[in-house]
Structure 1
Amino acid sequence: MDKKKILITGASGFIGSTITEMALQLGYETWAGIRSGSSLQYLRDEQLHLINLHYDDPAILTEQLRKAVHQKRPFDAVIHVAGLTKAPHKEEFDRVNHRYTRHLAEALRAAEALSGTFVLLSSLSVMGPGDETGYTPFNAESVPHPNTAYGRSKLQAEQYLMNQQLFPWLIIRPTGVYGPRDRDYLILMKAVKKGLSVGAGLRKQLLTFIHSHDLAMVVFSLLEKGISGKSYIVADGDSYTDNAFNAILQEVLGRRRVVQLKIPLWLVKPAAFVSEKVATLLGKTATFNSDKYLIMKQRNWSCDITPLKNDIGFIPRWRLKEGIEMTAEWYKKEGWL
């Protein structure tokens, strides 16, 4: 019996490489979608089929996918992870996160290259600001109203898929993803290790997290159940104040005391604006920009994951403290921390 065949885009990145690795472990015939210049550091398994996808040219993309499904063996699933989280110009988010998703879906249909479900890795950012009075969690009934260019581009990709006929789709909206290979939370860990914790805003903030391995397992559990036509918020089910999160980092990293700086939002906003403008003038991408300010400003990222529990019996393997410990050990082993 032939193995199930899967295409994972963005396979060279933090989340994409984690999902690709799990696909191999689960016995899939795994195709790793990359771009020219992508690092192959985590894609060295000899069983992998690498494919350099040309998202900006639908005709070439269609032909690439047609060749990939030779002998009439289409993909049983496609997991579309590729996307931008940072960009020098906001128009780039629409081009990569929205239009490239359309190009890929249309090319898969034209090439008759997909027999199963198209999984879009979206983001909790599509939900926009939450309830910052009673701190009601985001849930399956929450209506998306993104306030960032990144969130809007992801929602546009979602809406495109939801409007397709005879094209099974599945939308994954993860909260903050951490784990081995991630560099965003690494920045926070490095700061705490040096004795510094910096936060934005003076009011309580509720944060949520999902370990990259748990996120990957959720995706494959949903696929194996044959679920489509639904969107899921993915988190580990717990919420933490920003102070509680910092306390976990301190404990894991062995820092009994740190200098805690809480910067008022009225100072953060102009700093983000200046950072963005300077980076644009230098032709660089600003990590700290107006979108980032809106994310830092948001006080409530709590989530209700009842649908995941009901549909696949989801129980996270990694709670936050244990997951941070595991991640910190990996960072140390790799010389990152």
Structure 2
Amino acid sequence: MTGRQSSENTGQTVALTGATGFLGSQLITSLVKAGLSVRALTRRPQADRENVYWVKGDLDDKDALLELCEGADCIIHCAGVTKALSRDAFFDCNVKGTKNLLQAAKSKKPTRFILVSSLAAREPQLSHYAASKAAAEMAVSSGHWPFRWAIVRPPAIYGPGDMEILKIFKALKVGILPVPGRKSNQFSMIHVEDMAEIICKMTAGGFGGQIIEPDDGKSGGYTMKEVALALSGDKKPPRLITIPSPLLKIFGILNGIVARLLRRPAIFTGQKARELAHSDWVSRSARKPHFDNWSPHYSLKEGLNTTLQWYRQNGFL
């Protein structure tokens, strides 16, 4: 369903970081289908793609960032880390990397800069990750730049290729679904194709100096019970097993200790447990983007079904 984007900015060039990640790879597809040329940052060699120019480097490589931004009309900063061994490691990538890219963009003077952040930035006290995303937003919003900027805070993104929601599908096979914190906790969701399309549309302009919080159109978000019903389809819904916040935190702390001993960053730590148990990850209606003649293409049930089919076709289930 990608490729429905407006062609208002056809022929322009977009510089993209995080291009090989889950959202970034879908963004490349959406941008190219919208008629845009893409300059994409990568650490490792990539296969040739039509209308995609790969720039080898990372967010610490200032020469690579200058090359990335050369001739770009819009810059989309989608790169970042979601797991790290320390606060400094989170800030080195998510904050310092953002500042490095901003400086490169400042010298090349694109017309637009889009930071792909996270709803976690609303709650910086929860974790080093959340604090780093909030600091990255501040770096963008507090500067005096020769371009218009916008910040987009995606909710939970899912879709074909997402390895996180795969864990939920696997849990369903045994008829249970773990629920972190309380069953009443609510969160917004969006299919990766819809999320990419929203960012693609933002490249055409508008949203100057704004923070955007998109979702799939479901006001108030979802509870895990609603997700379980959507996942189960016509089958018996799974049993929800609540994991109390204190217990969740203990598990996270222990996992974090093991990660530090092995020197391998883990996604699930004591701080991540606080994020998971937080009661409100719902996109704010006042921050929703509005485009003429456009709405999300995937309901939760439709999106989960396409994701399930992808897992089956690719041997994950």
* TM-score, length-scaled by structure 2: 0.89
Q: Describe the superposition over 1:57-98 as per-residue Cα deviations: whole angstroms up to 9, x where unpaired.
A: 33x335534xx73xxxx1011111010011122321101111
One-letter identity of the residue aligned with 1:127: R
Q: Tell me the equivalent position of 2:94.
A: 97
Kindly tell me: are residues 276 and 309 of structure 1, through their superposed partners in 2, closer, same or farther at Cα, counting changes over 3 Å?
A: closer
Is 1:159 the counterpart of 2:138 in the alignment?
A: yes
Does residue 30 of structure 1 match 2:38?
yes
Pick from 112, 129, 149 the counterpart of residue 150 of structure 1.
Answer: 129
1:321, 1:219 → 2: CA distance?
23
Q: Counterpart amino acid of 2:135?
A: Q
Question: 1:324 and 1:62, CA in 2 relative to 1: closer, same or farther beyond 3 A?
Answer: closer
Does 2:162 correspond to 1:182? Answer: yes
Question: Which residue identity lines up with residue 37 of structure 2 in the other structure?
Answer: E
What's 1:207 paired with? 187
Query: Which range moved further: 314-323 or 45-54?
Result: 45-54
* Aligned counterpart for 2:177 among listed residues 197, 203, 207: 197
Correspondence for 1:127: 122
Give 1:133's aligned residue.
Answer: none
Q: Do residues 291 (structure 1) and 291 (structure 2) align?
A: no
The share of aligned pairs that are identical, in percent, is 28
1:78 aligns with 2:57: no
Deviations 1:118-168 (A, max 9, x none): 11000011112xxxxxxxxxxxxxxxx542211111111111111222232
Counterpart of 2:132 in 1: which secondary structure? helix
Distance 1:301 1:313, change over 3 A: farther
Match of residue 118 from structure 1? 113
1:187 CA displacement: 1.2
Cα distance in 1, alignment partners of residues 36 and 204 from structure 2:
12
Residue in 2 that maps onto 1:142: none
Q: Report the counterpart of residue 260 of structure 1 in structure 2.
A: 240
1:218 and 1:314 in contact (8 A); partners too: no
**Which is further off, 115-124 or 235-244?**
235-244
2:117–2:137 Cα contact (<8 Å) kept = yes
- d(CA) in 1 for partners of 2:115 and 2:205? 17
1:61 paired residue number: 64
Q: Which amino acid aligns with 1:266?
A: P
Task: Report the counterpart of residue 251 of structure 2 in structure 1.
Answer: 271
Q: How many residues align?
A: 306
Which region of structure 1 is more displaced relative to structure 2, 296-305 or 75-84? Answer: 296-305
For the residue of structure 2 that corresponds to 1:147, the secondary structure is coil
Partner Cα distance (1:169, 1:195) in 2: 46
Q: CA RMSD for the aligned pairs?
A: 2.2
The Cα of 1:258 is off from its aligned counterpart by 3.4
Q: Describe how 1:206-245 pairs up with structure 2 within 5 A.
A: 206-238=186-218, 239-245=221-227
Specify whether residues 308 and 199 from structure 1 end up closer, same or farther in structure 2 by C-alpha distance, changes over 3 A only.
closer
Residues 301-328 of structure 1: CA distance to partner in whole angstroms, max 9, x if unpaired? 2223344354656521111111111111
For residues 313 and 63 of structure 1, the distance between their equivalents in structure 2, rounded to whole angstroms, comes to 36
- Residue type of the alignment partner of 1:323: G
**1:200-223 deviations in whole A, cap 9, x for unaligned?**
224511121011111111112222
- Verify: 1:108 aligned to 2:102, yes or no: no
CA drift at 1:184: 1.0
Deviates more, 1:319-328 or 1:1-10: 1-10
Q: In terms of mean alpha carbon deviation, does 19-28 or 288-297 score higher?
A: 288-297
Distance 2:126 2:92 in 1: 18
1:250 Cα shift? 1.9
Do the aligned residues in 1 keep the contact of 2:119 with 2:283 (CA within 8 Å)?
no
Q: Report the AA paired with residue 248 of structure 1.
A: A
SS of structure 1 residue aligned to 2:212: strand
**Amino acid in structure 2 at the alignment position of 1:154:** K
- 1:16 matched to 2:13? The reply is no
Aligned residue identity for 2:226: A
Instruction: Give secondary structure in 1 for the equivalent of 2:240.
Output: strand
Q: Is the 8 A contact 1:237 1:305 kept in 2?
A: no
Gaps of 5+ in 2: 1-8
The 1:326/1:4 distance shift into structure 2, 3 A limit, reads same
In structure 2, C-alpha distance between the alignment counterparts of 1:325 and 1:62, rounded to whole Å:
39
The whole-number CA distance in structure 1 between the counterparts of 2:193 and 2:65 is 31
Shift, 1:281, TM fit: 0.3
Letter in 2 for 1:250: S
